[in-house]
Amino acid sequence: MIPAVSSTIFALRSQGPATLRQPDARLIEVRTASWRDALRRVRARVFEDDTALIVGPLAPGIASGLDKPEGIQQTGRQLKGDEVVRVRPEVIPFILVALGAGVVVALACALFRVPWPKAAWPGAVVAIVFSGYFLYFFRDPERRPPADPDAVVAGADGVILRISDVREDRHLKADCVRISIFLSLFDVHVNRAPIGGRSRFLGYVPGKHFFTFQEKSSEFNQHNAILIEGDRTRCLVYQIVGPVARRVVYWPDHDKAVPLKAGDRIGMMKFGSRLDMYFPKADIAVTAKEGDTVTAGETVVARIGQGGRG
């Protein structure tokens, strides 16, 4: 019997803490069914001037068996726990609607004299398909923001629709760069703080429901306005709804400023929408481009302290 092959990844970085996301990390993948074999293969690659972060299903055995020369840190961690995707509790009413729709379809089939076992099948398909989509839509995966204090991260998953130079006189009262992210019906819709600082809810602004890929949606559509004031710059966030999404939610306290770190969850937009981020133009340099696909809380879209367009 051939044993199953498992995979363990080592991220090594000389003279510093090791993480899988460091651009200068050296990645070693060992595919083997035995942690002892993986241990033997890796011993030759870990030196006294390196630190090692060990991940994967074989990590605990390797971390305990690897000789620990002076200056080497070892951490055993299972990937499975990090890859678990949470689902927002807001999905529950939508699941009930999906189940109700399935019952209605089944009863409608029965009214047309379809035998009950056969009538139940269309209802079950409707309930399963819609429930599955809602569970997928309300997923809330963990994100690992970059440690770089100068990094500005995307506030939403999606595609950068537009990067514009605009004048913002209502809140920031400055010449600004606006980064607009379009969210499709299949993107994660949980929003995250682009920068660290004190986040203040400015209010809900009623408006139109133009398609959010249209430029005029930034100005006329209903939205939530959020201001995050960091030590070195400020960020104005608009959670903008479209013709399908009719609800946007800001989760922190509405009545007082709340401290946040870059990448923290701040709210959610439902069923296709747009997120606009405004920054004083003199404070940042944009590193992303129009058309880039971005991940909320992780993708760096600009850098602080290097004013102007990158």
Q: Are 291 and 159 in contact (CB under 8 A)?
A: yes
DSSP structure class, residue 246: -
CA distance readout (Å), 73 to 14, 36, 42, 78, 290: 11, 19, 14, 17, 41
Does 273 qualify as catalytic in the annotation?
yes
Distance between CA 270 and CA 291 in Å, rounded? 22
Amino acid at 82: D
What is the token pair recorded at 200? 């203040």
Q: Are 55 and 48 in contact (CB under 8 A)?
A: no
What is the token pair recorded at 298? 């992780």
- Strand, helix or coil for residue 125: helix
CB burial string 107-117: b at 16+ within 10 A, e below: eebeeeeeeee
Distance between CA 7 and CA 5 in Å, rounded? 7
User: Which listed residue (180, 199, 218, 273) is catalytic?
Assistant: 273
Q: What is the β-pairing status of strands 76-77 and 50-55?
A: parallel
Q: Are 234 and 225 in contact (CB under 8 A)?
A: no
What is the token pair recorded at 8? 């363990």
Q: Are 239 and 248 in contact (CB under 8 A)?
A: yes
Amino acid at 10: F
Q: DSSP secondary structure string, 42-55?
A: HHTT--TTEEEEEE
Which residues belong to the active site?
Answer: 273
